[in-house]
Amino acid sequence: MLNKNNIHLGIIFLQNLVEFLGYSKTPNDEIFKTGIQKAIDIYKYMNKLYLASLKKMEHKECKQIILELETILNKITNLINAIKSDADPALIEELRLERNTLMQDKTKFFKEELDKEDQK
C-alpha cells in the first residue's frame, strides 16, 4: 500500500543506498554503476506506484464530485422548469431555497474535506 510512511521509508532507503555506493573508491567501478542503476530502477518503480495511486484517487474523487454536482444541477433544472412553466411563486421560492441550501451544504462539505487534507 502506498502511503506517506512507505514513501518516506523508500526515500530513506534510496538515500542510504546512494550513500553506501558513494564509498566506492573508483567511480567507474561496475558495482557502483549497478548500484546506481538499481537505485534509479527503484525510484522509477516507486514513482510509477505513486502516480498510479494518485490517478486512481483522483478518478474516485472526480466521480464523487460529479455525483454531488448532479444533485445540484437537478435542483437547478427543476427550478428553471418551474419558472418557465409559470409555476406557483411559492413553489419557485421553495425550489430556490432547496437549491441554495444544497449548494451551501455541499460547499461546506468540500471545504471541510480540503481542510482535512491540508492538515495531513
**pLDDT, tens only, 13-46:** 777 766 766 665 655 667 667 777 777 888 788 8
Distance of CA 8 to the CA centre of its chain: 19
In single-letter form, the type of residue at position 104 comes to Q
- Tens of pLDDT along 70-118? 888 888 888 888 888 888 888 888 888 888 888 888 888 888 888 887 8
Cα 27 from Cα 22, distance rounded (Å): 8
Cα 60 from Cα 68, distance rounded (Å): 13
Would the pTM of this model clear 0.85, i.e. be above it? Answer: no
Cα 101 from Cα 93, distance rounded (Å): 12
Cell of 15: 538515500
